[in-house]
Structure 1
Amino acid sequence: METLKEINLLQNKKIAIIGGGPGGLTLARLLQLKGADVKVYERDVNREARVQGAIVDLHFDSGLKVIEAAGLMDAFKASYMAGADKYRMVDKDANICLDETNTDVEDDFGSEYFRPEIDRGELRNLLIESLLPDTVVWNSQLENMELADTTWILKFKNGTAANADIVIGSDGYRSKVRPYVTDVKALYSGATIIQGEIDHPETNCPEMYNLVNKANLIAMDTGKTIAAQPRGDGGLTFYAAALYPENWVQASGVDFNKSDEVYTYLVNYYKGWNPIFYTLFKACLNFIPRPLNYFPIDQNWKAKANITLIGDAAHLMPPSGEGVNTAMLDALDLSESLTGKYPNLEAAIAAYEQQMRSRAAILGKEALESIKDFASPSEESINKLVQQFNTIKS
Structure 2
Amino acid sequence: MVLQNQHIAIVGGGPGGLTLARLLQVQGATVHVYERDQSRDVRVQGATLDLHEDSGLAALRQAQLLDEFKAHYRPGADRLRLLDQHASIVYDQHAEAQSTTFGDTHFRPEIDRGPLRTLLLDSLRPGTVVWDHRLAGITAHGTGWRLAFENGTTATADLVIGADGANSILRPLLTPIRPFYSGVTVVEGTVYDAARNAPRLHALTQGGKLFALGASRSLITSAKGDGSLCFYTGCHAPEGWVRASGIDFSDERQVLAWFRQEFAGWDEVWEELFTTGATQFVPRPQYCMPLDQTWAAQPNLTLLGDAAHLMPPYAGEGVNMAMLDALELSYCLTGGQFSELRAAIEHYEVHMRQRASQAAQETLVQTEALHSPHALAHLLNLFDVRQEQDRSC
TM-score where L is the length of structure 1: 0.95
- Match of residue 108, structure 2, among 109, 115, 127: 115
User: How far did 1:381 drift?
Assistant: 3.3
Matches within 5 A, 1:238-257: 238-257=231-250
1:373 aligns with 2:369: yes
1:154 aligns with 2:147: yes
Render the CA deviation track for 1:35-77: whole Å, top value 9, x for unaligned.
Answer: 0000000000112213332111011111111111110011000
Matches within 5 A, 1:41-120: 41-105=34-98, 108-120=101-113
- Match of residue 295, structure 1, among 289, 292, 316: 289
Match of residue 127 from structure 2 = 134
CA distance in 1 between counterparts of 2:269 and 2:56 reads: 35
1:276 aligns with 2:272: no
Render the CA deviation track for 1:331-357: whole Å, top value 9, x for unaligned.
Answer: 011111112311210111001100100
| Contact persistence 2:82–2:92 (CA under 8 A) | yes
Match of residue 6 from structure 2 = 13
RMSD: 1.2
Partner of 1:175: helix, strand, or coil?
Answer: coil
CA distance in 2 between counterparts of 1:305 and 1:52 reads: 34
Partner of 1:218: helix, strand, or coil?
Answer: strand
Q: Which runs of 4+ in 1 moved over 6 A?
A: none
Partner of 1:124: helix, strand, or coil?
Answer: helix
Larger displacement relative to structure 2 (106-115 or 233-242): 106-115
1:390 aligns with 2:378: no
Uncovered stretches (5+) of structure 2, i.e. residues with no partner: 389-393
Letter of the 1:341 counterpart:
Q
| Contact persistence 1:122–1:232 (CA under 8 A) | no
User: How far did 1:269 drift?
Assistant: 1.6
- Match of residue 185, structure 1, among 157, 162, 178: 178
Matches within 5 A, 1:180-329: 180-283=173-276, 285-319=279-313, 320-329=315-324
CA distance in 1 between counterparts of 2:16 and 2:120 reads: 10
CA distance in 2 between counterparts of 1:352 and 1:19 reads: 19
Letter of the 1:368 counterpart:
L
Partner of 1:101: helix, strand, or coil?
Answer: helix
Render the CA deviation track for 1:8-53: whole Å, top value 9, x for unaligned.
Answer: x111111000000000000000000010000000000112213332
Match of residue 4 from structure 1 = none
Match of residue 357 from structure 1 = 353
1:342 aligns with 2:338: yes
CA distance in 2 between counterparts of 1:263 and 1:39 reads: 43
| Contact persistence 1:90–1:220 (CA under 8 A) | yes
CA distance in 2 between counterparts of 1:280 and 1:20 reads: 30
User: How far did 1:369 drift?
Assistant: 1.6
Match of residue 163 from structure 1 = 156
| Contact persistence 2:56–2:323 (CA under 8 A) | yes
Render the CA deviation track for 1:221-252: whole Å, top value 9, x for unaligned.
Answer: 12211000012211111001001011110101
Larger displacement relative to structure 2 (225-234 or 323-332): 225-234
Partner of 2:275: helix, strand, or coil?
Answer: helix
Match of residue 391 from structure 2 = none
| Contact persistence 1:57–1:117 (CA under 8 A) | yes
CA distance in 1 between counterparts of 2:45 and 2:186 reads: 17
Render the CA deviation track for 1:247-271: whole Å, top value 9, x for unaligned.
Answer: 1101011111222211221122222
| Contact persistence 1:170–1:309 (CA under 8 A) | yes
User: How far did 1:106 drift?
Assistant: 5.9
Uncovered stretches (5+) of structure 1, i.e. residues with no partner: 1-6
CA distance in 1 between counterparts of 2:341 and 2:387 reads: 46
CA distance in 2 between counterparts of 1:189 and 1:387 reads: 24
| Contact persistence 2:221–2:231 (CA under 8 A) | yes
User: How far did 1:107 drift?
Assistant: 5.3
Render the CA deviation track for 1:101-124: whole Å, top value 9, x for unaligned.
Answer: 122326510211111000011111
CA distance in 1 between counterparts of 2:20 and 2:44 reads: 22
The count of residues paired between Structure 1 and Structure 2 equals: 385
CA distance in 1 between counterparts of 2:383 and 2:80 reads: 9
Partner of 1:278: helix, strand, or coil?
Answer: helix
Letter of the 1:321 counterpart:
G
| Contact persistence 1:243–1:372 (CA under 8 A) | no
Letter of the 1:130 counterpart:
S
Sequence identity of aligned pairs in percent? 46
Render the CA deviation track for 1:284-318: whole Å, top value 9, x for unaligned.
Answer: 52000000001111001000000000000000011
